[in-house]
Structure 1
Amino acid sequence: MRKIIVRCFVLLAAALLVGCVQPSAEQPASDAFVTVKGQQFYLGGKPYHYVGANMWYGAYLGAPGIAGDRERLTRELDLLVEHGITNLRVLAVSETSDLMRAVRPAVLQNTQGELDTDLLRGMDFLLAEMAKRDMKAVLYLNNFWQWSGGMSQYVAWFTGTEVLDPDITGKWNPFMENSARFYRLEEAQALYRNVIRALVTRTNSITGTVYSNDPTIMSWQLANEPRPGSDADGRAHFDDFSRWVDETAGFIKELAPHQLISTGNEGAMGTLGDADLFERSHASANVDYLTFHMWIKNWGWFDVTQPEETYSSAVSTAKQYMSEHVAIAERLNKPIVLEEFGVERNGGAFDHGTPVSYRDSFYAMVYRVIEKNVAAEGPFVGSNFWAWGGFATTDREDYMWQKGDDFFGDPPQEAQGLNSVFADDKSTLKVIAQHAQNLKGL
């Protein structure tokens, strides 16, 4: 009985949240959307390669309520475009949570499917402003990690168990195994799909365009870094994860046939450390292109406290990791995007104005690899660095985010400034702008 009641509530909420203006009767031209043919993206009949950034907080800044700062958002969009950054990866759905480091407010309020109106309008504003600047968006619809509520919050809602908070327990394997239960909970999947339906079929309150008809949205993404589980124990449920990828991607594709579908997965490191499992889980015809992430510090390749001793070997390992994933894309005949990569400021500093020489060097190396592959007409079609921090500032001694603070590129679980590229990071922006110019010439 509870299952029937929950589904009735979420279906009703989804119907109410489609939007408050009438959909535009005019369908956009098909060549306005990014499409896939073989290993390439196309836009307007021409190959499409892009320089992108992660800006998870875009809809938050666009919100008209207490969380928003539209003036900051438009300034940041102008600055991004000025430096050739035309693709943004954005958090589309967050979940209300008691997790210590979860962002507040959140889009999804409860199991009844109630969505935050201000944050939805914030997404409307973001997409409208991006459209004015010929930018494209990748919108991810969930999160394996705790900083936005995510899958662990769904599990808590539908099992009645306490959320395993790794920021308190320090235990990551149990947290990951708990989050991965999400794929196997029928009620959680019912709510998740109805939230997806509400968003994909929403009518933009500013432009009057249904989201599924908006060419500004390049891709709907299943989640941020979805994993089968922990490396230690996740293999037993790999088939559940792979099935979830295929079926959820197919569900979204039916709702949004003009737009692309991606997973948001990290690659081999996000698939139990097994490149073969990554390839198998992304062979689905419902997945239009591959994604992978690369974190040289988090994965133990680079020690920011011993940069001279570890940077060279980290670069070699990173090049091998990129090569491995490009080869998978070639075998699957799909484009591939490196949609997260970053390096801390020198010495692990967080403040504006502190040196970023290792970051600049690493970005330049990644961009050279992409440019070489693009020149050879390979499947490496773009990148989104992690992350854009724009004009954000903090005066907190511990650099940890609290409700009401500026939004940084770094999520609330991390020190604010850890991997953020700020508006005054002129040397990094120069590297990025040069890459954008180089891609135009290829």
Structure 2
Amino acid sequence: MNKYNRFSIAAFLMACLFALVACNNTQSVASAGPAADGFVKVSGTHFQKNGQPYYIAGTNMWYAAYLGSPSKVGDRARLAKELDTLKAMGVNNLRVLAVSEKSDINSSVKPATTNGFGNYDESLLQGLDYLLVELAKRDMTVVLYFNNFWQWSGGMTQYMSWIDGQPVQDPNVTNDWEGFMAKSASFYQSEKAQQEYRNTIKKIITRTNTVNGKAYADDATIMSWQLANEPRPGNSKTTAKEKQIYIDWINGVTAYIKSLDPHHLVSTGSEGLMGSVNDAKLFADAHSSVNVDYLTYHMWIRNWGWFDKTKPAETWDTGWEKGKDYLNSHIDAAKAINKPIVLEEFGLDRDMGSYDIKATTQYRDKFYQQVFDVLLPRMQKGEPIAGYNFWAWNGAGRTTRSNYWWQEGDDLNGDPPQEQQGMYGVFDTDTSTIAIIQQFNNSIHALNKK
């Protein structure tokens, strides 16, 4: 949604070094638990599990808990099929939406986990229970995010709508993304929103799984609690005061999560510089707290105007150079802060921006391969890049709608309701893309065996 602004890598690293001095920590407090309890831990700039290296070979499957639900939205047979397919691809981690908020706008998922403050859909929470059990069977882990800066799961703007009584403005309709982002970021300053948000966090973290009787806080299948999907400090006009409010919010909520559960990792869900109004110091400061265990970043060369899907040959080289720079500079930033970093979102359209499952994926495949070609050598050198999650897994999901927009009752896909179904998601028939992912995952698992 926002356009590219060139940034200085030197300035980025200087900001990270500055934050390092302020932070003065070399290891997460989450590493203090028993060494062999199965929890993913941080050791310097890497993850470990049971004392062994643990690199993330992952995908985004925001709807996975929905499939686990015993209600009509669930499809447990499909969930098993998807997890088996992903396991065969070498995927060991999912990034999943834990909580959604009921919204009346068309571009949001329905049903929702919360139908007003304190009003939870138990069947969807049971879907999360079921998912955790199925992941454990396959020795997979999960990152669970509690909220969303964007509207497709209700998110921060829905919190504010419940508080002020004003209807949520759908930026897909109004095209006012600046106004939408400002409203979403007002969530950080609302006492009522923050209290209700913490109530929901507590509801999830202190939950006992109805399938296996295990407390979530004791479940090593959960790798990390995450504050939100792509939280931003505001829009392009974000002030210094608003940046500080954002940092204070991160510091306060991560400390609260650790007070409830000191053993699981905590992450922000940040996009990196592009989610930090291109302010390197802000990104560094947002990840410098002892309660933030690792850095996250996302990379969208088409969304950010670096690559034109309708002019792929003409815009590829310059777009990829910016993307490669973005990938590398964030790994360098993690090195300066002395924490691991995960590239937890990236993706590209099918050729010429088609949503048709039969459309080719030549440029997407090229993109995936070149991203992996940047990450793998740095992983092999022991640098802080600790894994990745591609966006996103559509698997066996299909749409029959000629306009490709999701409606309630349709198959759930990795492409959320705010986007056309088939935009970025990888289907189980995308054999060339899957082969590239599987080859990279094999290389990652070789590192896990060292």
* Alignment equivalent of 1:184, drawn from 173, 186, 189: 189
Matches within 5 A, 1:352-391: 352-391=357-396
Report what 2:113 is aligned to.
107
Is this contact kept in 2: 1:28–1:214, CA < 8 A?
A: no
User: Contact 1:28–1:215 at 8 Å: present in 2 too?
Assistant: no
TM norm structure 2: 0.90
- Alignment partners' CA distance in 1, 2:251 and 2:241: 18
The question of 1:129 aligning with 2:134 is answered yes
| Residue 28 of structure 1, CA deviation | 9.0
Deviation per CA, 1:385-426: give whole Å up to 9, x if none. Answer: 000001011111110000000001100010000001001111
Question: 1:352 Cα shift?
Answer: 1.7
Structure 1 residue ranges without an equivalent (≥5): 1-26
Alpha-carbon shift at residue 274 of structure 1 (Å):
1.6
Is residue 70 of structure 1 aligned with residue 76 of structure 2?
yes
Q: In the alignment, which of 320, 323, 326 is matched to residue 328 of structure 2?
A: 323
1:291-320: CA deviation from partner (whole Å, max 9, x where unpaired): 000000000011111101111111111111
Partner of 1:290: 295
Partner of 2:292, secondary structure, is coil
Matched, 1:82 2:88: yes
TM-score normalized by the length of structure 1? 0.92
* 1:91 matched residue in structure 2: 97
Q: Is there any run of 5+ residues in structure 2 with no aligned partner, and where?
A: 1-32
Q: SS where residue 77 of structure 1 aligns?
A: helix
Q: Matches of 1:124 and 1:160 in 2, distance apart?
A: 32
Q: Secondary structure at the match of 2:113?
A: coil
- Which aligned segments of 4 or more residues in structure 1 are displaced greater than 6 angstroms? none
CA deviation string 1:152-197 (max 9, x = no partner): 0111111223322212211000110001010010011111101110
Q: Name the SS for the 1:249 alignment partner.
A: helix
Q: How does 1:30-429 map to 2 (within 5 A)?
A: 30-111=36-117, 113-429=118-434
Distance 2:34 2:293 in 1: 20
Hey, what's the Cα distance between the residues in 1 that align with 2:446 and 2:168? 50
Letter in 1 for 2:332: A
Deviates more, 1:56-65 or 1:359-368: 359-368
Letter of the aligned partner of 1:115 in structure 2?
Y
Return the letter of the residue paired with 1:132: K
Contact 1:201–1:211 under 8 Å retained in 2: yes
**Cα separation, partners in 2 of 1:70 and 1:376, compared to 1, 3 Å:** same
Q: 1:133 to 1:313 in 2, by over 3 A?
A: same
CA separation of 1:356 and 1:37: change in aligned 2, threshold 3 A = same
Helix, strand or coil for the counterpart of 1:338?
A: strand
Structure with bigger RCO (C-alpha 8 Å, 6+ apart): 2
Aligned counterparts of 2:228 and 2:105: Cα–Cα separation in 1: 18
Let me know the Cα RMSD of the aligned residues: 1.3
**Number of aligned residues:** 415
Kindly tell me: are residues 124 and 345 of structure 1, through their superposed partners in 2, closer, same or farther at Cα, counting changes over 3 Å?
Answer: same
Opposite residue 409 of structure 1, the aligned amino acid is G
Cα distance between partner residues in 2 of 1:258 and 1:221: 14
Amino acid at match of 2:205: V
Q: Is the 8 A contact 1:177 1:234 kept in 2?
A: no
Q: Report the Cα distance in structure 2 between the residues aligned to 1:253 and 1:437, rounded to whole angstroms.
A: 33
CA distance in 1, matches of 2:140, 2:274: 30
Q: 1:440: Cα distance to partner?
A: 2.5
Matching residue of 1:16: none
Alpha-carbon distance between aligned partners in 2 of 1:141 and 1:95, rounded to the nearest angstrom: 10
Percent same amino acid among aligned pairs?
Answer: 51
Q: Tell me how far apart the structure 2 counterparts of residues 258 and 419 of structure 1 sit (CA, whole Å).
A: 34
Please give the alpha-carbon distance, in whole angstroms, between the structure 1 residues aligned to 2:265 and 2:61. Answer: 19
- Paired residues of 1:228 and 1:235 also in contact (CA < 8 A): no
